Structure 1
Amino acid sequence: MRFLFSFLLSFAFVKSHCQQIAAGTVLSTRQTPVHDPVIIKEDSVYYIFCTGNGIAVWSSSNLKEWKKEAPVFANPPQWAVDAVPGFKGHIWAPDIHFYNGSYYLFYAVSQFGKNTSCIGVAVNKTLHPLSPDYKWIDLGKVVQSVLGRDLWNAIDPNLVVDEKNEPWLTFGSFWSGIKLVKLDRQMKIAEPQQWYTLARRPRPYNTPDSSAGGAAIEAPFIFRKGDYYYLFVSFDYCCIGEQSTYKIVVGRSKVLQGLYVDKDGVRMDSNGGSLLLQGNADWNGVGHNAVFTDNGKDYLIFHGYDAKDGGRSKLRIEELVWDENGWPAVK
């Protein structure tokens, strides 16, 4: 969820700075305009999915040059058009996961300025567009937040698979923070329902988003390494170009459902989170990350607001290293 007073500005910024680029166009990483990227590898090809009309897709063989592919959806899913007033196909923050022989793509649709939001999921046998098996099948809605009913927002999904190969979905932003819910094998909410709050930045109940200050939290991503589940989230302002103050923080837990704590032992459901990466003279803000492993190395993928290009959102990929206490750092 974005700050209420900047919603329309944010939307205009993202739409105008993620230019309409023709399929087949090839750009370097620093030139590639993405927002909320996630990455996966099939065979020798890397695929990035990110916010955009129909869900934007990029491919690469080397993590250095990226080819624009056709979007996932040629037309907005009808269930989403019916569920979210004003939705016309601009889809937020997808997440991709290979699970039990298929690729599952979660995505968010939302009404700007409100928590009238839904998370949906689509499935495919392959990510290679030229394969005869390539076909996205939309499975519809997974979870929905309702204005006036819920103090959480159904955006920014991330699928997590536990040590028993059971799927869970983490998502959310602002208010009561980052949620986790158990799914069944059809990627719907499992019954009986199991819900958890993993992280939040408390604020008075009646404080509007425009006055939230240090309460902004969103974009969860959970990465399992060794004995821990690491929870990455983004704090502060995104989506306002050179005024963006987005940053990435992290905590960890030995149990998927939490408690997650930062390096100082502060609980992430009580404003905890150790700083991993923030803006600087070259990047106004950085955030909405994913983590992936390739050839024995871990990488952080995220978007940054390019200070040398008017705060436009660009792709960044950085290697992650781990200190003697098991905490990540950008190499």
Structure 2
Amino acid sequence: MKRFRLAALLAAAAVALLPTTARADTAYPDPRPITGQEIIHDPTVSHLKSGPYVAYSTGGIIGARLSDDGTQWDDAGNAFAEPPSWWYEYNDTGDPWAPDLSYRAGRYWLYYAVSSWGTNHSAIGVATSPSGLPGTWTDQGKVFTSETSDTWNAIDPALIQADGKLWMAFGSYWTGIRMVELDPKTGKAVTGATVHHLATRPDAPYAVEGPYIVKHGRYYYLFASYDACCSGVNSTYKIKVGRSTSVTGPYVDSTGAALLEGGGDLVLEGHGRYVGTGGQSVFQDKGADWLAYHYYDAEDDGTPKLGLNKLSWQKNGWPVVR
């Protein structure tokens, strides 16, 4: 699940490093070289209308990075100066996770989750901004929640517009990936929203989370992170994908296996120093699609860093990282 404490992560990495001779899998490309502030977890990236690139992430009060060129990244503080008071209903530290940034109706929308490790007493919230820059956000409160009596977990939000409606995919463990319809005016779940089921694993603990959906051609592509994050070089995160002609599914992989039955094509997994690739999102820049994610650097004590790869589309319609 997308929850991260840097101190705990580094402590775990210090006692359990991968061998320095880790084999590089040439089937997967390395991330684009970047400079500056590379440390990040669960990135959501956008090229703002005002010019710079911004990346928001788990850590801090939604940590922010800015870049003029997409290569040199600088620390830009946090989205918020202090946590909204209602966050403390879901954890003692007011610690938000896994943001999702989008632009709609003349303003930027920043969705995020608040919860505690190991529980689905969770909430997804939203804030709005005219510019998308850190320090300009106004919190709008809860979007959707889950309780321990539910069979889903309201974290890891990701927005998509489809067929004239606004949708939010979400989910982590607790039977996997779900989706609800949102009211486009408020950005919050419609009253009595149906909770659609998009992807899961056949066995507990149903280790799939962090959905992100992209429309390409006539298909919707559901990207998700599988297996375990947040353990430094012991992380086993990997990114898989399935597709559907309907945003609410059913999603299948290239062999026809249903994502509701554990299917999914591998898009990116750990290779060489780049361990535990996941926490992904997709953004468009200059007509190209880019995959943003974090990895744990096996040559830097398992520190989580920003990965960026161009996302290309094969003739058969399936995505591949470059």
The two structures have a TM-score, normalised by structure 1, of: 0.86
Q: What is the match of residue 305 of structure 1? A: 296
- Which whole-Å deviations, capped at 9, do the CAs of 1:134-182 have from their partners, x for residues lacking one? 73111101111112x1111111000111131x21111001122101000
Task: Say yes or no: does 1:50 pair with 2:57.
Answer: yes
Task: Say yes or no: does 1:70 pair with 2:85.
Answer: no
Task: Report the structure, 1 or 2, having the larger helix content.
Answer: 1
Structure 1 window deviating more from structure 2 (314-323 vs 27-36): it is: 27-36
Compute the displacement of 1:194 (Å).
2.4
Q: What is the match of residue 23 of structure 1? A: none
Cα pair 1:80 1:109 within 8 Å, conserved: yes
Q: What is the match of residue 162 of structure 1? A: 162
Q: What is the match of residue 228 of structure 1? A: 219
Q: For residues 47 and 16 of structure 1, what CA distance do their matches in structure 2 show? A: 29
Q: For residues 15 and 276 of structure 1, what CA distance do their matches in structure 2 show? A: 29
The 1:97/1:14 distance shift into structure 2, 3 A limit, reads farther
Segments of 5+ residues of structure 2 without an aligned counterpart are 14-32
Cα pair 1:10 1:239 within 8 Å, conserved: no
Q: For residues 225 and 163 of structure 1, what CA distance do their matches in structure 2 show? A: 14
The 1:326/1:173 distance shift into structure 2, 3 A limit, reads same
Q: For residues 5 and 169 of structure 2, what CA distance do their matches in structure 1 show? A: 27
Q: Which residue type is aligned with residue 180 of structure 1?
A: M
Q: 4+ residue runs of structure 1 moved beyond 3 angstroms?
A: 7-11, 14-17, 27-31
The 1:292/1:150 distance shift into structure 2, 3 A limit, reads same
Q: For residues 37 and 8 of structure 1, what CA distance do their matches in structure 2 show? A: 12
Q: For residues 275 and 12 of structure 2, what CA distance do their matches in structure 1 show? A: 17
The 1:314/1:85 distance shift into structure 2, 3 A limit, reads closer
Q: Find the partner of 1:36 among 13, 27, 42.
A: 42
- Which whole-Å deviations, capped at 9, do the CAs of 1:256-288 have from their partners, x for residues lacking one? 011100011011111011000100122121001
Compute the displacement of 1:16 (Å).
9.4
Compute the displacement of 1:31 (Å).
5.2
Compute the displacement of 1:246 (Å).
0.6
Q: What is the match of residue 308 of structure 2? A: 317
Cα pair 1:179 1:196 within 8 Å, conserved: yes
Percentage of identical aligned residues:
41
CA RMSD of aligned residues (A): 2.2
Q: Which residue type is aligned with residue 195 of structure 2?
A: W
Q: What is the match of residue 284 of structure 1? A: 275
Task: Say yes or no: does 1:328 pair with 2:288.
Answer: no
User: Which structure exhibits the higher relative contact order, with contacts defined as CA atoms closer than 8 Å and separated by 6 or more residues?
Assistant: 2
Q: For residues 219 and 273 of structure 1, what CA distance do their matches in structure 2 show? A: 14
Q: For residues 37 and 81 of structure 2, what CA distance do their matches in structure 1 show? A: 25
Q: Which residue type is aligned with residue 12 of structure 1?
A: A
User: Following superposition of structure 1 onto structure 2, how do residues 116-195 of structure 1 map, counting pairs within 5 Å?
Assistant: 116-128=121-133, 135-147=136-148, 149-164=149-164, 166-185=165-184, 186-195=186-195
Segments of 5+ residues of structure 1 without an aligned counterpart are 18-26
Q: For residues 194 and 322 of structure 1, what CA distance do their matches in structure 2 show? A: 32
Cα pair 2:124 2:144 within 8 Å, conserved: yes
Q: What is the match of residue 202 of structure 1? A: 202
Compute the displacement of 1:90 (Å).
2.1
